[in-house]
Amino acid sequence: MVNLKINGKSVSVPEGSTVLEAAKAANIEIPTLCFLNGVNCAGSCRMCVVEATGARGLVAACVYPVSEGMEVRTNTPKCRQSRKMTLELLLSTHKKKCLTCPRNMTCELQRLALEYGADADKFATAAPDTPLDTSSPFLIRDNDKCINCRRCVAACKNLQGVEAIGPIGRGYAVHIGGAFERPTIETNCVGCGQCIVACPVGALVEKSGTDAVWKAMSDPEKKVVFFTAPSIRATLSEEFGLPVGTNVEGKMVAAIRRLGDVEVFNMDVTADLTILEEASELVDRVKNNKPLPMFTSCCPGWIKYIEHNYPEMLPNLSTCKSPQQMFGALLKTYYCEKNGIEPENLFVVSVIPCTAKKFEVERPELKKDVDVALTTRELARMIRTAGIKFADLEDEDYDDPFRIATGGGAIFGATGGVMEAALRTAAHMLDGKFEVLDFKEVRGTNPIKEAKYKVAGITVKVAVASGLANAKAIMEDIKAGRKNYTFVEIMACPGGCINGGGQPNVPDSVRNWTDLKTLRAKALYNYDKKLEYRASHDSPTVKMLYDEYFDQPNSHKAHEVLHTEYTPREKY
Amino acid sequence: MKGNNSVFQGTPEQEAKLKEVIENRKSAPGCLMPVLQEAQAIYGYLPIEVQKMIAEGLGVSLSEVYGVATFYTQFSLTPKGKHRISLCLGTACYVKGADKILSALEKKLGVKCGECTVDGMFSLDSCRCVGACGLAPVMMIDDDVYGKLTVDMLDDILQPYREGRK
């Protein structure tokens, strides 16, 4: 342990700790901007500068190592003046359209500027006027708001191994973008949105679909239905100031119902349906020597990633549509037929934790079954626009016929959840007496999890990875023959959907020191534990769908409505 | 700095040479810079096709290759002419009127600074100080230095290159 003093307070921290970590241990806040714990550690923005004995000048706390007997001062006039100047220089080129910026009130630059009393116009420069990158259906990049902190670049590289973006040029002209200045849609970007949740300012935001939803709700010709993805119940709370990991399913349903004349369905239903289809597909692949390992196909970020990087492995990807697209297809077929609605008059809105799903709804092969995919953030914005007092709402339940789902469907929102739900059902399919419901080996936020199960004489080797950089590691192992698995679950975002790129923006001051992934996932596993049905094949809704419409998993009808195909894409 | 739209005309020989360079260098740390330098020596510039080969060969991303290629002024994303004009816009040359020389050259050649003429004869670039401030304003064409420039001198300087005498 190393002993030092910060602002006169003694603290002992492990060797190799940074001043920033030591300050945290001493409960002393140092402002940061480019630092994002576990993602970016460059020491380049100079917001976290402090005075330390033995150092010449100010040092960046996020990278400066502690030493025995060191005395650190974090709140001297010199520190404050330097930080203020840094902010004023950043503000000199920042497009200050704060009033209407989607990040107004959640912008980290705005908060620091206020805290330090920075003069936004101290260094007046010509107003920058870079065109927005609106090329993709999921993302808007406004480089005039960018402060070049590189958090997006680091998220894209270190978390996702995608590296669709990087710094271009040098000096004053440096900016972030795709190679050869190609717009986002022409790059290998998978749309995961981890750059959006990493961005401290409004330079990266999702392309909003809220206007289209408001419009549809006021169109008398349209019937509007919403469905919410498993993880939204565990994260929407954060948008309304509730503690991380609070399950607000009941309030969420109530709030959506108050947006307009809409019905609200539970997407866990098609998560269950995915499991029935996917588990049957797995059993079929195992029994009939078809390509293995089978990869899950519920994550659209992962699908675009494999299309770009491992097109030769596409036959290994489950043909099941994602739960979002299964729901869209189900609504525009079964639901419309049953209720005598013309599919073009049904306006389908999904609420998802994800920006890649905005790309997915535009895939031509999926025929616009979902009209608009809204992120958790966008739903929260709509709730605020409608003047709904979220915290005061009484709990309400989803609408029939897509109300009841299982714990297996709910845990789709966390890494390992799809695997666990599939194992609950596949084991049952192979051996009707197999009664295990908890597969704890595949839970948790470890980047790569492996397990082996023996059911009905068959050994099933599974792997679970979240974060595409980890997916890449697994794929390379499989390609080189170092590993062989039966079934692999991949989620593009680290920790799965609960940490998706469409989830609430959490400021670095919180994110750096809170295990968001674990807290949010816990809300889902607690929910799973107390549900009446826990295995997808026990779901009465799913039974009804097979009885009334699909006959059985992987039937001809099921293939027509619930399965899809993939497109190889260029690597760069 | 964006790559231009001219059609890539790399030959199989050039590609084989680049692959050899990549093979020889790829195990060394920090090999991207020397590979880019050699690639530019082979192709004369670094178009997207070449940068993709480098990314693939070294196992780094295209955005990283492009980031390095745009960071250093020694790298060019556009083809260079048969003769390379490099006009100094350093402090001494600038105060002696290099900006006027630049506009005159742009007008005479019909290109912007950083571009290459349609016939591939001249490319025009600016640089910062060739170490001959006493001769300001100064430009270099290939390895020849021309000093104390005036706009009137430019035609006479360019003519021998146009006629293939230089």
For the segment A341-367, the average pLDDT, to the nearest whole number, is: 97
Identify which of A165, A169, A187 has the shortest CB distance to residue B1. Answer: A169
The one-letter amino acid at B21: V
For residues A277 and A321, is the Cβ–Cβ distance under 8 A? no
Average per-residue pLDDT for chain A: 96
Sign of CA dihedral A95, A98, A103, A105: positive
The verdict on a CB contact (< 8 Å) between A571 and B56 is: yes
A435 DSSP assignment:
-
Count Cβ atoms within 10 A of the Cβ of residue A373 and give its class: 0-12 exposed, 13-18 middle, 19 or more buried: buried
For the segment A341-345, the average pLDDT, to the nearest whole number, is: 97
Instruction: Tell me the per-residue pLDDT of A257-274, one tens digit each, with 9 for 90 and over.
Output: 999 999 999 999 999 999
The shortest C-alpha distance from A160 to chain B (Å) reads 12
Sign of CA dihedral A353, A357, A359, A362: negative
A contact residues 149-178, partner B, Cβ 8 Å cutoff: 157, 163-170, 178
In the predicted model, is pLDDT for residue A386 greater than 90? Answer: yes
The shortest C-alpha distance from A165 to chain B (Å) reads 6
Angle at A380 (CA atoms; ends A375, A382), nearest 5 degrees:
95
The verdict on a CB contact (< 8 Å) between B65 and A157 is: no
Count Cβ atoms within 10 A of the Cβ of residue B152 and give its class: 0-12 exposed, 13-18 middle, 19 or more buried: exposed
The verdict on a CB contact (< 8 Å) between A180 and B64 is: no
- How far apart are the C-alpha atoms of A42 and A37, rounded to whole Å? 11
CATH number assigned to the domain covering B83-162: 3.40.30.10
What domains lie within chain A, and their CATH numbers? 2-75 (3.10.20.740), 88-206 (3.30.70.20), 211-562 (3.40.50.1780)
Model confidence at B166, pLDDT cuts 50, 70, 90, reads: confident
User: What is the pLDDT, as a whole number, of residue B94?
Assistant: 96
Pairing state between β A2-6 and A9-13: antiparallel
For residue A291, say if its preceding peptide bond is cis, omega within 30 degrees of 0: no
In the predicted model, is pLDDT for residue A512 greater than 80? Answer: yes
How much of chain A exceeds pLDDT 70, in percent? Answer: 100
The verdict on a CB contact (< 8 Å) between B66 and A157 is: no
Identify which of B1, B51, B61 has the shortest CB distance to residue A163. Answer: B61
Burial B96-126, CB ≥16 within 10 A → b, else e:
bebeebbebbeeebebebebbbeeeebbbbb
Q: Tell me the pTM.
A: 0.93
> Between the CA atoms of A97, A98, A104 and A110, what dihedral angle is there, to the nearest 10 degrees?
130
User: What is the pLDDT, as a whole number, of residue B1?
Assistant: 40
In the predicted model, is pLDDT for residue B6 greater than 80? Answer: no
Q: Dig out the tokens for A83 from the structure.
A: 């930080």
Q: Tokens 């107390």 belong to which residue?
A: A530
A467: left (phi over 0), alpha (psi -120 to 50) or beta: left
The verdict on a CB contact (< 8 Å) between A179 and B56 is: no
Active-site residue (options: A189, A192, A199, A298): A298
Angle at A324 (CA atoms; ends A319, A327), nearest 5 degrees:
95
Model confidence at B2, pLDDT cuts 50, 70, 90, reads: very low
| A322 is known as an active-site residue | no
Average per-residue pLDDT for chain B: 93
For the segment A313-320, the average pLDDT, to the nearest whole number, is: 97
| A479 is known as an active-site residue | no
Greatest Cα-to-Cα distance within chain B, rounded to the nearest angstrom? 53
Closest residue in chain A to residue B55, using alpha carbons only: A572
For the segment A485-498, the average pLDDT, to the nearest whole number, is: 97
Identify which of B52, B56, B63 has the shortest CB distance to residue A166. Answer: B63
| A365 is known as an active-site residue | yes
| A298 is known as an active-site residue | yes
User: What is the pLDDT, as a whole number, of residue A456?
Assistant: 81
Residue B88, φ and ψ in degrees, nearest 5: -80, 125
Closest residue in chain B to residue A176, using alpha carbons only: B67
Identify which of A170, A179, A571 has the shortest CB distance to residue B63. Answer: A179
- How far apart are the C-alpha atoms of A389 and A383, rounded to whole Å? 8
User: What is the pLDDT, as a whole number, of residue B5?
Assistant: 52
Instruction: Tell me the per-residue pLDDT of A237-254, one tens digit each, with 9 for 90 and over.
Output: 999 999 999 999 999 999
Sign of CA dihedral A171, A173, A174, A179: negative
The shortest C-alpha distance from B25 to chain A (Å) reads 22
ipTM: 0.91
Contacts A–B by Cβ distance under 8 A: 46
Model confidence at B3, pLDDT cuts 50, 70, 90, reads: very low
For the segment A529-553, the average pLDDT, to the nearest whole number, is: 96
For residues A519 and A244, is the Cβ–Cβ distance under 8 A? yes
User: What is the pLDDT, as a whole number, of residue B74?
Assistant: 86
Burial A432-445, CB ≥16 within 10 A → b, else e:
eebeebebebbbeb
Active-site residue (options: A321, A332, A357, A358): A357
In the predicted model, is pLDDT for residue A307 greater than 50? Answer: yes
Model confidence at A445, pLDDT cuts 50, 70, 90, reads: confident
In the predicted model, is pLDDT for residue A145 greater than 90? Answer: yes
Instruction: Tell me the per-residue pLDDT of A272-300, one tens digit each, with 9 for 90 and over.
Output: 999 999 999 999 998 899 999 999 999 99
Which chain A residues are Cβ-neighbours of B68 within 8 angstroms?
Answer: none
Cα distances from A78 to residues A59, A64, A73, in angstroms, run 12, 18, 10
Instruction: Tell me the per-residue pLDDT of A100-122, one tens digit each, with 9 for 90 and over.
Output: 999 999 999 999 999 999 999 99
Identify which of A166, A187, A572 has the shortest CB distance to residue B67. Answer: A166
The one-letter amino acid at B9: Q
